[in-house]
Amino acid sequence: MSFKVAVIGLRMGHAWALAANDMPEAELCLVYDKHYHENQRILKQFYEDNNIRVAEDESEIYESDADVVVVASPDHFHAQQCIMALQAGKHVACEKPLAPSLSECREIIAAVEKSGRFFMTGQVCRYAPGFKLAKYLIEAGRIGEICYVESEYAHDYSKAEGYREWRKDPKVKRHGFLGGGCHALDLTRWLAGNPEEVFCYMNQKHLPDWPTPDTGVAVAKFPNQVIGRIFVSVGVKRPYTMRTVINGTKGTIVCDNTSDYIQICESEACQVASALKFARIPVNVANHNVRSELEEFISYIAKGEQCPTDVYEGTKTVAFAEAAIASANSGKPEKPAF
């Protein structure tokens, strides 16, 4: 069985288009980007060489015979485009973050529930080999019970404003702690569970002319007395990293999505504390493993089942970010509202 796939947004969406065009279970039937003809960073040659139809108007996506619509446009278009696709009877995969606000996420939830279609939130870090292996080792009991988890999203956006500078547009008012930080926030949720409370500080020293804070540190309380820290900066002057550390009662895992190994230290392997050392486990590097996302989504649709990274998972990550932002504004701990 092959599913026809249409893609909206051809910067983030290009990887989805490549995957759909290459997978035997999918057929890339149509793509659309509002700025297709003027944006020189869109890889138009691929669509021309592969005879992929390029829609001139967004409505063509919803009127098409596509089974699946991938929404990979800038964040502030997600809610409207997801809802339109669902109302047109399409299954939908939406890039992260699901939407810029919890209220918009609730609108998408209502549309999903009314449509009866399947939905995926593109939390790509759950598909990165290093993070997947860390999750497997934790569930296998290799480091015991989780005590503490930390993750960071450090990515300098000073030269990554987005097409027509939408990431720094004061009208859009994109919040970096959600827009970029959703990666680290979702990863800690995936590993430790849904946060019960969060306290956060933020500042704005790297990108003073942007409309929202560029750096934040949140401390969260997770179920089973697990505590955690999330660092997000979209202005920090360093190489991109999503370094993540998980401390357990029997060991520690250090991992990221850019290294070809993860590290694990296991107390049961040593007789004395002075002998504790990290061992390296090789992994593939695939920090934007979109193909695995699309393969999983389509496999679940084929079975008539909802995939794990559903609309509710995407919403919980947005709620986590909103609670952190609210805490930074109020100076008090806040509880996620979903």
Report pLDDT digits (tens) over 252-303. 999 999 999 999 999 887 766 677 889 999 999 987 889 999 999 999 999 9
Q: Is a pLDDT exceeding 70 seen at residue 304? A: yes
178-204: average pLDDT = 98
Q: What is the mean pLDDT of the chain?
A: 96
CA dist list (Å): 164 to 57, 147, 199 = 19, 44, 34
Least confident of 210-219, 282-291, 310-319: 282-291
Identify the pLDDT of residue 91.
Answer: 98
The number of helices, as runs of H, and strands, as runs of E, in the chain is 10, 13
Q: What single-letter amino acid sits at 13? A: G
159-175: average pLDDT = 96
Identify the pLDDT of residue 305.
Answer: 98
Q: Which homologous superfamily does the CATH classification assign to the domain defined by 126-287+318-330?
A: Dihydrodipicolinate Reductase; domain 2 (3.30.360.10)
Identify the pLDDT of residue 271.
Answer: 67
Domain ranges for the chain: 3-123+289-306, 126-287+318-330
pLDDT in tens, 52-79: 999 999 999 999 999 999 999 999 999 9
pLDDT above 70 coverage of the chain, percent: 99
Biggest distance spanned by C-alpha atoms of the chain:
67
pLDDT in tens, 4-39: 999 999 999 999 999 999 999 999 999 999 999 999
Identify the pLDDT of residue 275.
Answer: 74
134-163: average pLDDT = 97
| pLDDT band for position 163 (cuts 50, 70, 90) | very high
- Kindly state the tokens that stand for 122: 């593109």
Q: Which residues of 309-324 are buried (b: 16+ CB within 10 A; e: fewer)?
A: bbbebbbbbbbbbbbb
Identify the pLDDT of residue 272.
Answer: 63
The whole-model pTM stands at: 0.96
pLDDT above 90 coverage of the chain, percent: 95
| pLDDT band for position 209 (cuts 50, 70, 90) | very high
Identify the pLDDT of residue 286.
Answer: 83
The architecture in CATH of the region 3-123+289-306 reads 3-Layer(aba) Sandwich (3.40)
In 3D space, the residue among 149, 240, 141 whose CA is nearest the CA of residue 190 turns out to be 149
Identify the pLDDT of residue 22.
Answer: 96
Identify the pLDDT of residue 273.
Answer: 66
Which residues have C-beta within 8 Å of that of residue 44, sequence separation ≥ 6? Answer: 36
Distance in angstroms (rounded) separating the CA atoms of residues 263 and 275: 16
| pLDDT band for position 130 (cuts 50, 70, 90) | very high
In 3D space, the residue among 259, 249, 187, 248 whose CA is nearest the CA of residue 220 turns out to be 187
pLDDT in tens, 74-98: 999 999 999 999 999 999 999 999 9
